[in-house]
A and B are shown apart, each in its own frame.
Chain A
Amino acid sequence: MARNSPHPDPLPGGEREKRSRATGVFALVLVAVLTALPAFAGVTQVKLKLPLKPRLPLRGNEKIALAPFVIATEAEKARDRRLQNVDLQAEFQRFLKKQIEKKTKLEVVELPGDRKLPSQNLSELGRSTEYWRALGAETGAEIIVSGSLEFRVEDRSGYKTEEYVSPIDGRTYYRQVYVEQTGFLFDIVFLVFDGRSGEKILQDQFKDFRQTGGRRADELQGLFENLFSLENQILNLFVARDREAERYIFTD
């Protein structure tokens, strides 16, 4: 004989199943959160501003002469029309002078525009002590900056593999697509000389590469993208700069 339960279940079977499934999911999420918690609890990320010492031991108010730089891509200029649109020497000198005058207390000494370098070879330039000493005496500059510049515009266009989900069958396929891109490469070698002794006191190199969409990206814009990204490193040769850094600290 079937007996009636004293506390009949108020929920129909389907509803009861739904509830028990929801409780199960909730319990699983809770377990996952509690398991993951110790890994994250008690640690936080903080930002610091770290000082970068100037690379050159300067007082800060020296007279500085900006000598011409060797243009490493000069020979390619005749063949590459895009390089013909950029007067690299003039643009870089103008950029460097402006940055030094704006962000340091150094006094920039003007050099005659037709000043010739003793050599187009970087190593020989570094050894031309007599030349740099004479230039220092002539201009009164305590430090002289020179070096080499390389700027290249590269056509990076080409076929690239791309993932493609078909709207018809929803499956993923791979296809080749033609992407137009231009790359700008900038490479500077700095040579810094003591204007009194003519000795080389520092050699440093900075490189930057930028890539933009489109084949006809503007060369000058590309050049300045490179220069602005190197600005902090270039100025750090002469003055202290800040660098932002991230660290972890424990909170308990």
Chain B
Amino acid sequence: MAFGAVLILSGCTSYSRPEKAETQIAFGSDVARRGLWREAAFRFERAVQKEPNNARAHNNLAVALEAGGEFARALAEYKRALELDPGDTYIRRNYARFAEFYTSYTRTTGKATGGT
């Protein structure tokens, strides 16, 4: 926890222009790579608030929400990211992988599935 706090504080000093969406994305992705997904989600959420039409921010928020188990919200964010930038390969790949997982996750219990 102390490590997390130190990391966040040091991050705040190095990302000195928090008002910009890209600063939030940079900081969020930095903490995400360290596995601090709640902080990352918070940062990406801020980025989305700053720039609601930023597909990258929506994609990153979707990944952070997915990591936190908020799948329904993650789905909405992936869809929004794709809507804003339908040609982006990374967003498309993320969405395809998420869709595969989410479909199996929400499969109704008690129904024959016939296959692995």
Q: Which residues of the partner chain B approach A56 to less than 8 Å between Cβ atoms? A: 109
A250 to B63, CA, bound (A): 10
Select one of A44, A203, A205 contacting B33, CB under 8 A: A44
Across chains A and B, the number of contacting residue pairs, with CB separation under 8 Å, is 73
Q: Would you call A50 and B29 a contact (CB within 8 A)?
A: no
Per DSSP, chain B at the interface is helix
Q: At the interface, yes or no: A201 with Cβ under 8 Å from chain B?
A: yes
Choose among B32, B56, B90, B110 the residue that contacts A202 (Cβ–Cβ < 8 A). Answer: B110
Q: Does B45 belong to the interface (CB within 8 Å)?
A: no
Q: Is the CB of B115 within 8 A of A205?
A: yes
Q: How far is the CA of A243 from the CA of B91 in the complex (A)?
A: 21
Q: A55 contacts which chain B residues (CB < 8 A)?
A: 107, 109
Q: A50 contacts B66, CB within 8 Å?
A: yes
Chain B contacts for A50, CB-based, 8 A:
66, 101, 105
In the complex the two chains form, what is the Cα distance from A162 to B97 in whole Å?
35
Q: If the complex has contacts A46-B33, A46-B63, A55-B109, are A247 and B22 also in contact, measured as CB distance less than 8 A? A: no
Residues of A with C-beta under 8 A to B66: 48, 50, 247
Secondary structure call for the A interface: strand
Cβ contacts under 8 Å, B113 to chain A? 203-205
Contacts A44-B29, A251-B25: A207 and B116 contacting too (C-beta < 8 A)?
yes
B116 to chain A: which residues have CB within 8 Å?
205-208, 233
What residues of B have a CB within 8 angstroms of the CB of A51 in the complex?
69
Interface bin, chain A: 20 to 34
Q: How far is the CB of A39 from chain B (nearest CB, A)?
A: 9
A58 to chain B, nearest CB (A): 10
Q: Which of B28, B105, B107, B110 contacts A201 (CB 8 A)?
A: B110
Complex interface: chain B residues within 8 A of A34 (CB): none
Q: Decide: B60 and A250 in contact? CB cutoff 8 A.
A: yes
Shortest Cβ distance from residue B33 to the other chain A in the assembled complex, whole angstroms: 6
| Contact call B60/A204, Cβ cutoff below 8 A | no
Q: Tell me if B67 counts as interface (CB < 8 A to partner A).
A: yes
Cβ of A246 within 8 Å of any chain B Cβ, yes or no, is: yes
B26 and A252 form a contact (CB under 8 A): yes
B30 to chain A, nearest CB (A): 8
Which single member of A48, A205, A249, A252 contacts B22 (CB below 8 Å)?
A: A252
With both chains docked as a complex, state the minimum distance between the C-beta of A216 and any C-beta of chain B, in angstroms: 28
Nearest Cβ on chain B to A7's Cβ, whole angstroms: 50
Say whether A250 contacts B110, CB under 8 Å. Answer: no
Q: Which B residue sits closest to A236, measured CB to CB?
A: B104
Q: Is B49 part of the contact surface with A, judged by Cβ < 8 Å?
A: no
Q: Which of A52, A201, A233, A245 has the most CB atoms of chain B within a 10 A radius of its CB?
A: A245
A-facing mask of B66-109, CB < 8 A → 1, else 0? 11010000000000000000000011011001100100110101
Q: Can you list 13 pairs linking A and B with CB atoms under 8 Å apart? A: A44-B29, A44-B33, A202-B109, A202-B110, A203-B112, A205-B113, A205-B115, A205-B116, A207-B116, A248-B59, A248-B91, A249-B28, A250-B60
Q: B interface vs A, CB < 8 Å?
A: 22, 25-26, 28-30, 32-33, 56-57, 59-60, 63, 66-67, 69, 90-91, 93-94, 97-98, 101, 104-105, 107, 109-110, 112-116
- Known contacts A51-B69, A247-B66, then 5 further A-B pairs from the complex at CB < 8 Å, ordered by chain A residue: A50-B66, A50-B105, A207-B116, A247-B63, A250-B59
The 5 A-B residue pairs whose C-beta atoms are closest, nearest first, are A250-B56, A248-B90, A251-B29, A203-B112, A48-B67
